Structures are given as C-alpha cells and as structure tokens.
C-alpha cells in the first residue's frame, strides 16, 4: 500500500504525485516541469503541490525598471509674493478635513449596520449543496424548490447514526424528526428507500429501536391521507406511544468475512471476502484506480481518477469479487459523474460516482459497504482500514494481490499544522495514517476505500485522494470525507436511477 504517480499522456496526469493512476509498466514518474528545473529522475523528493516558493536565483531589483515621467519643479522667485486664497486658509482646510472624515465615518457606520441587519435576518440556515446557495430552514422540504438543483426537495428523508434511525425533515419546525413505529407498515419503508435513491430490489427491512434520550422530536404516519413522500405524509407528535422508532435498512451493507480488526504496521495480503466492496477500475486491462461498491449499480471513487479525457465511461472496466487485480466479475460503465466543485489543484471535493450498465450480482465476495449516516460517531483516532493494489513501496511497483492495512484517523487540526500539511486540509478532506510514517496508501490506491467497523458493520469513511509521497514522516494519507457528500451522492442516485 502506499500513493497514484503522474503518468504522461495518454494516461491522466495529476499535480500531486502522491495519488494517481497506476501505469508503472508504461511510464516513468515525473514531477511537473516548469522550464527551469531538472526533469524528475526518480530519486528526487516527491513533488508537493502545496509548496509555494520563488524560483531559485530570482531577485527583486531595488531599482525601479521604469521611472515616472515628472515635470521639472516650478519654483517661485524670491522677490515674488505668492497670493494666498483666503477661503482656503489652513484653518478652513482643517475644518473641511474634519467634516469630511466625520461624514465618511457616518457612511461606514451606516453600511456596517445595514450589513449586520442583512446577515442577522437572512442568515444561511441551510446550504443548497453544490451551489452553496442559502435557503431558510423553513423553505427546506416545503414543496417549492429553492435550490438551483432542487436539493431542498430531494433530501427530505435521511438515516441517522449507526442504527439507521429514519428521520423526516419538518419545515414547520425546521428540524429533523424521528419516525415513530405507530401506524407504520413495510410498504412505507420500500417507498422511502426509493425516494432516498435506492432501488426497490435492494430493500432490506424495517427494524425497531427503542426511543432513547438522544432522540428529540417525533412524527408518525398520517393515516387520514394517502402515503406520498415521507415528509408530506407525517404529523408531529410529542412522543411515540409505542416507545419505538423506525430503523430503516435500504440495503444489506457492510458485512464481511473479516471479523478480526487487529492492528498491523505495513500492508498484508487480503483474503477473498475480507473487503468485498473493493473494485479495480481499469482501462484496457491496466489498473488505474480503486473504488467501492455502494449499491448494485453504483461505484464510488475519486474525481481525480476520472478527470479530463478519463471522464468517458466507455473506456472503463470494473473488476469486482477477487483479490487478484485483473480477475473476477467484469462490468461496463454507463455514466461517470464527478463532483461539480472538484478542484484539481487542491484536490478539494475529490469524489466521483460510476453508474454501471448492468447491476452487480451480490455474493460472498461482492457486497456493498455502508455509506455513513448523518452524525456518525467517528473519533479523532478512529481505527480504520485501507485497501488496494497500489505500490507497496514509494517508487516501487503495484501489487498483483489486494493489500490492506490498519490506520487511525488524524484530526484536521493536527493534519493542518505547518509541519504536516500547513492548512491544506479542508472540511471535505480527512486524514488517516501515522505521523511517524511507515503505513499508507500509495500510487494505484486512489479512489479506493477508507473504512471503519462500527456496530458490527463496515462503513465508508473516505476515498483515497492524495498525499506527499508514500508513508513519509508527517505526511499521512488524505481522503475525501464521504460524510460531507451524502446529499450529493443520494441526489445522483435519485436523478439517474
């Protein structure tokens, strides 16, 4: 395990040598060439896309290159008296300056007051998602689309926490409300899962959970009206008479034959069924990136794996169900969708989806990983696992067999320290690994899963995005924070179901 290296055309090139498409047999790694440097020879330190420094030997001259064209100074002869304009005496000038200053300060104070009033009365209660447009909480799920892409009317039912508690958004209360078991039936669960973005065929079951102190606000099905969408078919309640709330499983996810989660240093060979959601994304039987199965029809990967010419779905093959890199079930890709706010320079919002042409047939070696629900309890040192066919050492070669390693999460404050990534970690990123180095993802692992085991299930915490080198000191792996993108993921699943 370690980070994808920058390949020359026709393979995708990424500014960060840490995580890129893997074609080690076709090219030699190299850093971006700016015309002033020696081409990368394979022995240099990894190129850091975030380092910003002036070119070597560059000096700024203390002398201006161009001097302003000034007219000769016009002096007044000593014997000539200069007439003074009485009205513009020194005292009057001082008075004008004072009055002008006061007026400017009054105008500025008025502007500040207006801005304060504006932001207080029109505060951004909820963001639309990809557009970042703000809407009031009372406008969310009110039946009228306010967001450019309609997210405010598309994400009105959600699953909460590790127990998949079903919640409906109430525009009147501007809050998420827990759905009581009272007056519920299984058909409502099937319809709700479809509205979230899952296929009817993937529906698992409805379970019941006891009402606990952390669950506030309830709704139940309104039996006096026909069931449409969940949030329009419920009524508010102060409590659940049954004492039970709905736990909705839209898909049977997160199960693995791997039950041991002991800590290891470095990578170890994976066994069939250990990581059944792991796939190899290939072009012409050449491994480029990893990915994760989230439904029978959808693969989650990194946006930098499919940028530029690699956004064409027809060139991709998805290999699933085997720990051997180019074996197993092969699927074709119908659609490639990158996050619209992906930044190829900073790798912010580095997430993409692939819609398959035909649904995967699930088995003991082909299964989906669970998408994280709202408010999942990840800790700063959460134990996670990475997996992939990437380089086993920095500058080495890819592995023919799937490798896996145990790494802890690292909080963003630590990861943003000057000695680590110096502020480059956004809220859409999450760090994992060891500051001491030694264990990491590497070239060829891009897009692959960062998972953790909670409540006996495996959850997708992130997808492999970037890093400086592989397993270097103070340079842990950086992953797209999947929890941040739940609304966007479900919106794509709804739109292209």
For residue 189, the enclosing domain spans 138-249
Catalytic residue among 350, 440, 445, 463: 350
Q: Is residue 353 part of a domain?
A: no
Question: What is 79-131 written as a DSSP string?
Answer: T-PPP--GGG-HHHHHHHHHHHHHHHHHHHHHHHHHHHHHHHHT---EE-STT
pLDDT of the residue at 425: 98
Summarised one tens digit per residue, pLDDT across range 376-401 is: 989 999 999 999 999 888 877 788 99
**Structural domain contains residue 157:** yes
Question: How is residue 266 annotated by DSSP?
Answer: S
pLDDT digits (tens, 9 = 90+) for 202-211: 999 999 999 9
How high does pLDDT run on average in the chain? Answer: 82
| Domain assignment of residue 374, yes or no | no
Query: 24-63 pLDDT, tens per residue?
Result: 443 333 333 344 444 444 444 333 333 333 344 443 333 3
Instruction: Please enumerate in sequence order all residues whose Cβ is within 8 A of that of 303, keeping only pairs 6 or more positions apart, or say none.
Output: 338, 339, 342, 349, 350, 351, 352
Does the pLDDT of residue 7 top 60, yes or no? no
CATH code at position 216: 3.10.250.10
304 is catalytic: yes
Residue 217 lies inside a defined structural domain of this protein: yes
User: What digits encode the pLDDT tens for the residues 61-93?
Assistant: 333 333 233 333 333 333 444 444 455 567 777
Asked if 350 is an active-site residue, the reply is yes
Instruction: Give the active site residue among 304, 322, 399, 440.
Output: 304
Per-residue pLDDT at 32: 36
Question: Against a cut of 0.85, is the pTM above it?
Answer: no
Q: Are 250 and 203 in contact (CB under 8 A)?
A: yes
Q: Tell whether 142 is covered by a domain.
A: yes
Within-domain flag for 352: no
- 342 lies in some domain: no
User: Which H/E stretch holds residue 206?
Assistant: strand 205-210
Catalytic residue among 24, 233, 338, 446: 446
Catalytic residue flag (residue 446): yes
Residue at 416 is within a domain: no
> What total of structural domains would you count in the chain?
1
């Amino acid at each position: 395990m370690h980070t994808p290296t920058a390949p020359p055309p026709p393979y995708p090139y990424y500014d960060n040598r840490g995580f890129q498409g893997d074609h080690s047999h076709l090219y030699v790694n190299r850093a971006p060439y700016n015309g002033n440097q020696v081409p990368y020879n394979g022995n240099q330190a990894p190129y850091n896309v975030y380092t910003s420094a002036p070119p070597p030997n560059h000096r700024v001259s203390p002398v201006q290159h161009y001097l302003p064209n000034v007219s000769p100074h016009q002096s007044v002869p000593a014997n000539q008296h200069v007439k003074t304009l009485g009205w513009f005496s020194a005292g009057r000038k001082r008075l004008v300056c004072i009055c002008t200053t006061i007026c400017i300060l009054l105008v500025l104070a008025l502007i500040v007051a207006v801005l304060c009033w504006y932001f207080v009365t029109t505060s951004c209660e909820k963001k639309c998602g990809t557009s970042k447009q703000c809407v009031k909480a009372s406008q969310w799920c009110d039946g009228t689309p306010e967001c450019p892409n309609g997210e405010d009317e598309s994400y009105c039912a959600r699953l909460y926490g590790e127990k998949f508690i079903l919640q409906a958004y109430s525009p009147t209360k501007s809050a998420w409300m827990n759905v009581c078991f009272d007056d519920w039936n299984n058909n409502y669960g099937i319809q709700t899962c479809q509205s979230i973005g899952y296929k009817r065929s993937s529906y698992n079951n409805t379970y019941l959970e006891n009402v606990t102190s952390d669950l506030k606000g309830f709704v139940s099905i309104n039996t006096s009206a026909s069931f449409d969408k969940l949030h329009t078919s419920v009524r508010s309640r102060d409590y659940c008479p049954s004492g039970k709330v709905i736990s909705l499983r839209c898909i049977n996810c997160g199960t693995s034959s791997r039950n041991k989660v002991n800590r290891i240093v470095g990578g170890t060979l994976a066994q069939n069924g250990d990581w059944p959601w792991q796939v190899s994304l290939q072009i012409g039987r050449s491994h480029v990136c990893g990915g994760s199965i989230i439904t029978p029809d959808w693969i989650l990967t990194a946006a930098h794996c499919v940028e530029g010419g690699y956004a064409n779905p027809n060139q991709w093959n998805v290999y699933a169900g085997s720990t051997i890199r180019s074996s197993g079930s092969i699927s074709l890709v119908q659609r490639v969708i990158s996050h619209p706010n992906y930044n190829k320079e900073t790798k912010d919002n580095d997430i993409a989806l692939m819609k398959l042409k035909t649904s995967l047939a699930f088995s003991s070696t082909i299964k989906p990983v669970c998408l994280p629900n709202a408010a999942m309890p990840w800790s700063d040192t959460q134990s996670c696992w990475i997996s992939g066919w990437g380089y086993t050492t920095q500058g080495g070669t890819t592995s023919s067999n799937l490798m896996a390693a145990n790494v802890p999460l690292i909080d963003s404050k630590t990861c943003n320290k000057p000695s680590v990534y110096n502020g480059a970690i956004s809220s859409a990123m999450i760090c994992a690994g060891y500051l001491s180095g030694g264990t990491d993802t590497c070239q060829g692992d891009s897009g692959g899963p960062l998972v953790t085991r909670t409540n006996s299930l495996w959850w997708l915490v992130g997808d492999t995005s970037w890093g400086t080198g592989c397993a270097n000191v103070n340079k842990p792996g950086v992953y797209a924070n999947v929890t941040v993108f739940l609304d966007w993921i479900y919106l794509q699943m709804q739109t292209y179901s």
